Structures are given as structure tokens and as C-alpha cells.
Structure 1
Amino acid sequence: MKYVMGIDLGTSGVKAILVDESGRVCCETTKSYRLIQSKPGYCEQNPEDWVEQTMAAMTELMERKPVQSRQVEGISFSGQMHGLVLLDESLQVLRPAILWNDTRTTPQCVRMTEKLGGRLQAITKNQALEGFTLPKLLWVKEHEPEIDQRIHLFLLPKDYVRYRLTGAIHMDYSDAAGTLLLDMGEQTWSEEICQTFDIPIRICPPLVSSEAEVGTLLPQIAKETGMTEEVKVFAGGADNACGAIGAGILSSGHTLCSIGTSGVILSYEENHNRELNGNLHLFHHAKKDAFYTMGVTLSAGYSLDWIKSLFAPNDSFKDLLAGAKDIAPGANGLLFTPYLVGERTPHADSVIRGSFIGLDSRHEKAHMVRAVLEGITFSLNESIALFRQAGKRIDAIVSIGGGARSHTWLQMQADIFQAEVIQLENEQGPALGAAMLAAVGCGWYESLEACADQFIHQAVVFTPNQQHVDVYDHLFRLYQSIYTNTRDIHAGLAQYR
């Protein structure tokens, strides 16, 4: 039996899975690492932590399956998008990586929009938002000029880890699309954008497709992890693109709901010409010559983590959600907006913060948990509403991540989204998408679609409960009014943070 390994470099930790030719996940492990939050709005990580924990995960898989260590044919990667890793001429890290959910770059985004106007969106298919990579580069240029002068190369998180494992430097198109430096039409780094913002184009790494074979493990890495030097390493893709592959979102008409730290509604696109409104994004897919549109809720699973840490730090998530099951839709007149670190879609606002609306003395922990689940789902539904306004038909949605582990939450998604919601039989998220890229790269299957037929199977389909649909339709309209009615209040409170 032959195997591939999928490695997903997330925000809170790295997940590694070992998959055989039939698509069976034989072994998996997760290793965590810390966030560095030195100031409000700042969110950084030490790239060395990623490398150490990725190697620890690989080593653990090989130790748990020692007979299979020499039968691993390929490795591929998924990774958190947008994070800025800066390297000097010796390819040493210059500073901690600035992550996707770091919101310090609002002034840079404003100046970018003023300077390039509509050209930025015409070239990159995206607006200037704090999460993207280019504003972070401009922040370093402005606030850390001594670092800026030493920049030889920038990478994104998974690309840095892959470099450390192979010695080869590349970036795939699905991750490059989230930098605001890629010309989406030409599939090259944009000279116009680089020149406009005085970014030397030489610091941009070579571009490759997600399924490209980019090298093999360095001898020392192979030895330390218990693998062979012959293992093929493939470029991989952005976490959302790999999550889409792992959920079978490989043709038009397919839509994904992914709830991790952030939440994503993602829909497959054949080309990059769709007109988008409301801060939706358009990126390269990890499937060759394909694209996807996407809306983002910044604090999806993060909001649930937050409420758990406040009210039930010693409970499991299963126990936390069990109480919410018995609460009726609407949480007894309580609404929650998941703007704990600002919001992305449809409101690109780094200042806005979360709210509980309607809180009274009768509300208990279960009501607040229910309201948080509903608020996260309402926020995601704003992206679905934008897709439908743009003419996309969304009748069925594959749900992955933390939101797919609770039947209560899956039914809630079906009721709020007004669509069938599909739970997968063996949902492994972006790590499975990375493994599938490796499987196709190794020649096991002729296409990702053929691989998906073998690897991906539906488990349960949740259909909307019409009584709940009617309740949620009214509550969703109330939810949508909260942003405009609290925006000025939160702006006034910002000086006290």
C-alpha cells in the first residue's frame, strides 16, 4: 500500500494526515503553536514554531505507522493565507510573521485605495483590506525601515515551511492571489502595483501551480522525521482552496461553508470575470485554471472559542453545544454579532466590534451559546445573500470544519441558508485537499475529480425546516441592521481599547 501526507498549517496549529490509495485516513495528528498579540489589532507568529511543530507532526505519524514510512510517496501543503514572512539575503527570518487576522494596516489600505483606485481591483480582483499581504509590506516599510531595507524575499506561511523542508522556494497561484500583488489575468506578479508602492519585484518568489512537484525532503529533514529522501513534495495551496478540494468543490454550482477560526462561504468559478460587490473576494483555486469567489467572517469559530473560555472553559465543545440544542431559534430574543476582531464581508471594517443585542436577566449560558452560533451563521449568510444577488444559484452547501461537527449547528445552517447542507463522511478539511493534490501529483489519479470520487463521500443531508426558516428570515433582517446602528458607537469606543 502507498500513502500520501497532507499538512495543513492553520492559525492555531498544524494538522497532518496520512492517507492511503483508497482515500482512507490512516493516521492524523495536530500540534499547536502560540499567537503573539502584543497590541490591540496585532496578531503575529514565530515561523520557527511552524517548522518545529510540522516536523513533530510528521515524526509522530511515522512513529505511529513505522512500517509505512518508506511507502509515503508524496507530501503536499495547505496553509493560512496572507501571512507575511520576511527573509534576508541569507534566507533568515527578519521578524515575526504578520498574520491574516492582524488589523493594524487600515491606514495603508486607505492610501492604497487612494493611490490606485479601481486599478487595484481590476488587476487583483480584490479590494485593499487589512488581511492581505501587500498592506503588511507597506506597514513594515513605514514603521520598520531598518527591516524593510534588508528584505530579500517574502513568503507566505506554508511556503516558508515547505522551503525549510526542501530548500526550494516557490509560491502557488491560490496563495499568491491573496497578496494583492498578483495580476489575476496575466498570472504574473504585477509590475504596475510593485512600482506604484515601491516594492522591488525581485522579492516576489517564483510562481507555480498547486499540483507542481517542487522538490524532495532535505536529507536531514528526512532523517529526523523518519521518512525517505525520495518523497515527492508538491506546492499545495491556500487553506480555503485546499478545503474546497477536500470537500469536492471542483465544478460550477458547488458551494462550501468552512468554519474554523474564521468562517468562509466559497463558490466555484470557471473564470475570473465575475463582478463582485460587498467585499467578496475572487482567488485562484488550487485546481488548475479554476477560480473561486469567497466571503469571509473573521471571527467564526473564534467567537465560539471566546464564549467557551468565558462560560465553560472545562467543558468539551460537544457539551457546550448540547445545551444550545434545546433553545428555540432566536435564543429567547438575543442576537450576537461576531465582530470580535472587526469584520470582512460584507463590511470591511477593522474598528467594529461584537455586540449582544436584547440581553436580559432571563438569559442563561445556553441562550448566549445559541445566539453566538446563530450570529456566526447569520454573518456567513450575508455572503450567501451577496452570491444570490450576483445571480448564483445556491441550493446545496457542503459544510466542513467546526461547524460540521454538530448536528444542531448543521440544521441551523440549513435553516438560515435556506439550502440543503451536506455533512461529509470523513471530513478532514484542507489537510485532505493537500493530500489529494499529492495523490494526483504522484499519478494515483488522472484528475482531482477522479480522486474526489474515491476520497469524498456524503454522510448526512440536512434540509431546511420551514417553520425555522420563517423565524430566521425575520431575525436575519434584524441582524443586518445591527452594523449600521452600532458602527458609530464602536468607532467612539475605539480610543479606549
Structure 2
Amino acid sequence: MYLLGIDLGTSSIKVSVIEAATQRIVSSVQYPEVEAEISSPQVGWAEQNPETWWKNTKNAIKKSQEKRNYDPKDIQAIGIAYQMHGLVVLDAQGEVLRPSIIWCDSRAVEYGDKAFSTLGKDFCLEHHLNSPGNFTAAKLAWVKENEPAVYEKIDKVMLPGEYLAYKLSGALSTSISALSEGIFWDFVENKLSTSVLKYFGFPRSFFPDIQDVFSVHGELRSDVAAELGLRSGIPIAYKSGDQPNNAFSLNVLEPGEVAATAGTSGVIYGVSDALVHDPESRVNTFAHVNYTPDQVRTGTLLCINGTGILYSWAKKLLGNSISYQDMNASSAAISAGAEGLRVLPFGNGAERIFHNRTIGAHFENLDLNRHHKGHFLKGITEGIAFSFRYGLDIMRENGMNASKVKAGHANLFLSEVFQRDFVEATGLEVELYDNDGSVGAALGAGLGSGAFASAKEAFLGVKKIKTISPQGGYEDIYENWKEILTTKLNK
């Protein structure tokens, strides 16, 4: 018996198939091979077409079958992970009304800020654990005011993964975890937030029925099954935002456990058994995948928009002939500190840690006579690592005092240079696992469909690759980097 996991990322769709009995990965692919484009019709905007996600998902599933490592008819359940906070709107016929306004789009900041002020800071933080900020509710408010013809046609509002589940099954559902990431869930009232809906003027009918994350969210349509060579009626048994899912994929489920990921954006995610919030809303708290009103499990999420996207930008800038392996080799030859070159990686929209300000990416102290490609790349990996440290210190202010973090051996954590920079910058020991978001989605499908009796059983076959411990020596470099950042923030 096999389980199929789909990870709808910003740069690509990843699909993994695992053997349920052993958790062995039998296929893992991504589509397309190159990073998918983000459309930016105006400064600060970021959009992608949901129909392209669907097309790429089907191509990724077909690609996973090419080596014939498994019989597609033996897949028993499907799980979905997806980029968080995106807005997808459908009409009554189930057709997409406009491109998705994705997580790094900054256009709705003023709508969230106004709601935060009007509803009240204390009320929002107590009931929603966050400011409405730039999340899904604020994005929908932007559509309501700026595209009234589109808004009038809306029948259902959903997140990216809910759209994929709908295309696979024809069924619509949401979860407490999903609603909380859109700032639609009231943690005090334990229900869809009537305050947010009333303030923005959104009808309850926009939102699908609420189900557990680990439950059947629909069954594979016969026409889709025929197109993909799968068995009709396979349950879609798990659906989660990418960061709660990344934590789940690393078996980070209990209070005090911490996960990290460094893809297009960078995230540190810590689990708590309390309804905690940052008084300044620089980090965010959402319902974790195993949250219930009776057993609180929240995830405090530090998100930095500009991390891996800067490294992929550097690759494009250097030309198609260079590989990530070449880039890592060039930066590995450079000593800590990149001979004074400092990089601020914040060039991917408004950053929550800066109170939703957009400060842009910056290269400081560039010396044209001394610095070459290796310094350029080493400065980037260090700058990304230092941004993690900056955010981690905010999380420490809010009571998260972990000594180690779990991460999947994927994205920037594939690079030994970045691994070392991250460990030295943060002072955290890192445990690397042979897992990623698509594998986590497959494991979630196993738990949601009953293939696994418990989370403990689901992770019996997951193996740790290595542990990396800090050795010290980056503190002075970080403090210099932080001074440069502080100067930019104070302008």
C-alpha cells in the first residue's frame, strides 16, 4: 500500500510516494524543473494562477510514475501541503475568478492594519492571536474594495491547498488550522470569527464546512483518476499549510519542539500548548495540525519572506550554466564574514518582523577589487542565516528557548555552507532528516485515512541524517550585520 503526498510550493509542485508499511520513499519529483514564476503586475504584488498549480500537479503525479517504482493503482490515500495565506476565489460554477493573491503579496497591509486598529489590538491578539495584517482576510477585503465585479461573483473563498483538494475530488472543506492562518478563526469563541466577518462584510457562505486536518476531505473523481492512472475514490485524507506540515513531517507535534525550513521563504516554527501571541505581531501563532479546542497545540511561526528566493535570484543572475552545487562550492572557499560583505535579504515584499515594512534587499561594503562570486554567494548565505537569528531573538523574547531545531534535508538545507552558517548564526543545534513537505503530506494522508494508528507509528521509518552543532565565532559578524540592518530600519 502506498501514500501520495503533494506539496504546492511557490517555486514548484513536489510529489512523493511512500510505502505505508515502512515509510520508505519510492518516488520523489518536482514539476516544473525550474522555479515557477511569480507575477507582479504592480510593485508589492505577487500572484500565481491556480489553474497552473492544477496543471503542474497533474504533471508532477504523472512524472512520479515514469520510473515505475510503484503501481499507481496501489495508492490508498492522498495528502496535500500548500503555500500558506494565499487567496483563491471561485464562482458558483467552481471556476477561478482571478489569480491567487499569494503569501508574499503586500497590497493588503493597510486593510489589515485598519482592522487591527478598529477591532482593537487587545481583542485581535486575544481572539485571533495575530493582527489581521497581510493575511487572507485582508486580501479578500482588498478584492472587495478594488474589484467589486469580481467580489460579487464569489461563491467560495479558499486557500491554495483547498483548491487542489477541490480539483481532485469536487468536494470543498476547510479546517481550524486553515481558518486560523487566514485570520478567520476565533480561538476564544472556538468558531469562525463573527467579528472578522462582520467587520469586513463577508458572508458565512463563502467558507466551506470545517473538518479535522486528519480526515477525509473528498474522494478522487473518476475522470481525474482516469487521467492520472489512479484508482477512483482514493480519499484526500490530509490538508495543511506548508509550515505546520513541515513541522509535522519532522514529527514536531508537542510543546517545546521546533522545526525550520528554508525554501523561497524562511521559517522557524515552535509548538506550544498555550494560546500565545507576540504583543508586537512580529511573529504569528496559528492552530497546529493537531490542534483541538480541548487539547491546545499552537504553532508560533517566524516567517522571513526573503531567504531562498535571494539564492535562486543569484543563480539566475549568474546564468543558466551554473548549478547550485557550483554555487555552494564557490561560497565554501570563502571564510566566515565574506571579507566584510554584508547582505540584507529582504527583497520579497513586506516583512512581518519589521511590522509589515518593505525595506528591500541590500549589499553593503561591496569592494569591487576584493569581492568576487564566492564572496557574493557567501554573503548571501550568511545574510539569510543572520535574518533567521534576528527573528529567532524575537521568538526568544516570547518564551521560545529551544536548544535544537529539526529540519528537512531540502532546499537551502541541502547546502553544507548554509547548514554551517545557520547553526553558527543561531547558536542552535540542527538535526537533519531525509524528509520534505511532500513526504509529510503523504504521512499525513496515512494518519488521516487510518493507515497509521498513531503519529508514533507514522514516523517509525523516518531516519535522521546527521546532527550539526555550533562551534562559535559568528557573534561579532552578526552584530555588525545587525547594525547595518538597524540603520536601514531607522531611516
Same fold (TM over 0.5): yes
Secondary structure at the aligned position of 2:232 is classed as coil
Instruction: Specify the alignment match of 1:50 in structure 2.
Output: 53
Match of 1:133 among 136, 140, 157: 136
Decide which moves more: 243-252 or 60-69.
60-69
Distance of 1:395 and 1:66 partners within structure 2? 39
Q: Does 1:364 align with 2:372?
A: yes
Deviation, 1:348, is 2.6
CA, structure 1 residues 18+229, in 2 after alignment: closer, same or farther (shift >3 Å)?
same
Superposition map of 1:394-473 within 5 A? 394-400=402-408, 401-424=410-433, 426-427=434-435, 429-452=436-459, 454-466=460-472, 468=473, 472-473=474-475
2:3, 2:78 within 8 Å by CA — same for their partners in 1? yes
Secondary structure at the aligned position of 2:217 is classed as strand
Distance of 2:365 and 2:221 partners within structure 1? 58
Deviation, 1:399, is 2.3
CA, structure 1 residues 276+404, in 2 after alignment: closer, same or farther (shift >3 Å)?
farther
CA, structure 1 residues 448+185, in 2 after alignment: closer, same or farther (shift >3 Å)?
farther
Decide which moves more: 74-83 or 166-175.
166-175
User: Counterpart amino acid of 2:413?
Assistant: A
Distance of 2:253 and 2:333 partners within structure 1? 37
Match of 1:183 among 186, 197, 202: 186
Q: Does 1:142 align with 2:148?
A: no
1:258, 1:264 within 8 Å by CA — same for their partners in 2? yes
Match of 1:388 among 382, 389, 396: 396
Distance of 1:451 and 1:187 partners within structure 2? 29
Q: Does 1:17 align with 2:13?
A: no
Q: Does 1:295 align with 2:312?
A: no
User: Counterpart amino acid of 2:301?
Assistant: M
Distance of 1:415 and 1:245 partners within structure 2? 25
Distance of 1:47 and 1:345 partners within structure 2? 25
Distance of 2:392 and 2:10 partners within structure 1? 25
CA, structure 1 residues 242+339, in 2 after alignment: closer, same or farther (shift >3 Å)?
same
Q: Please give the per-residue CA displacement for 1:51-110, whole angstroms capped at 9, x wherever unaligned.
A: 111122222334543852221110010001111111112221111111111111232133
Unaligned runs of 5+ in 1: 490-497
Unaligned runs of 5+ in 2: none
Distance of 1:296 and 1:483 partners within structure 2? 17
1:170, 1:235 within 8 Å by CA — same for their partners in 2? no
Q: Does 1:208 align with 2:207?
A: no
Deviation, 1:276, is 5.2
Deviation, 1:278, is 5.4
Q: Does 1:88 align with 2:97?
A: no
- Aligned structure 1 segments of 4 or more residues deviating by more than 3 angstroms: 273-278
User: Counterpart amino acid of 1:347?
Assistant: F
Instruction: Specify the alignment match of 1:120 in structure 2.
Output: 124
Secondary structure at the aligned position of 1:16 is classed as strand
Secondary structure at the aligned position of 2:196 is classed as helix
CA, structure 1 residues 484+67, in 2 after alignment: closer, same or farther (shift >3 Å)?
closer
1:72, 1:231 within 8 Å by CA — same for their partners in 2? yes
User: Counterpart amino acid of 1:373?
Assistant: T
Decide which moves more: 64-73 or 206-215.
64-73
2:302, 2:391 within 8 Å by CA — same for their partners in 1? yes
Instruction: Specify the alignment match of 1:492 in structure 2.
Output: none
TM-score of the superposition, structure 1-length normalised?
0.92
Q: Does 1:477 align with 2:483?
A: no
Distance of 1:321 and 1:343 partners within structure 2? 28
User: Counterpart amino acid of 1:10?
Assistant: G
Deviation, 1:379, is 0.7
Secondary structure at the aligned position of 1:267 is classed as strand
Instruction: Specify the alignment match of 1:3 in structure 2.
Output: 2
Q: Does 1:30 align with 2:39?
A: no
Distance of 1:449 and 1:271 partners within structure 2? 23
Match of 1:250 among 237, 248, 253: 253
Q: How many correspondences in the alignment?
A: 480
User: Counterpart amino acid of 1:303?
Assistant: L
Deviation, 1:461, is 0.8
Distance of 1:9 and 1:483 partners within structure 2? 32
2:284, 2:302 within 8 Å by CA — same for their partners in 1? yes
Identity of paired residues, percent? 26
User: Counterpart amino acid of 2:239?
Assistant: G
Distance of 1:121 and 1:459 partners within structure 2? 39
Deviation, 1:488, is 6.1
Secondary structure at the aligned position of 1:237 is classed as strand
Secondary structure at the aligned position of 1:315 is classed as coil
1:246, 1:456 within 8 Å by CA — same for their partners in 2? no
2:39, 2:48 within 8 Å by CA — same for their partners in 1? yes
TM-score of the superposition, structure 2-length normalised?
0.94
User: Counterpart amino acid of 2:311?
Assistant: L
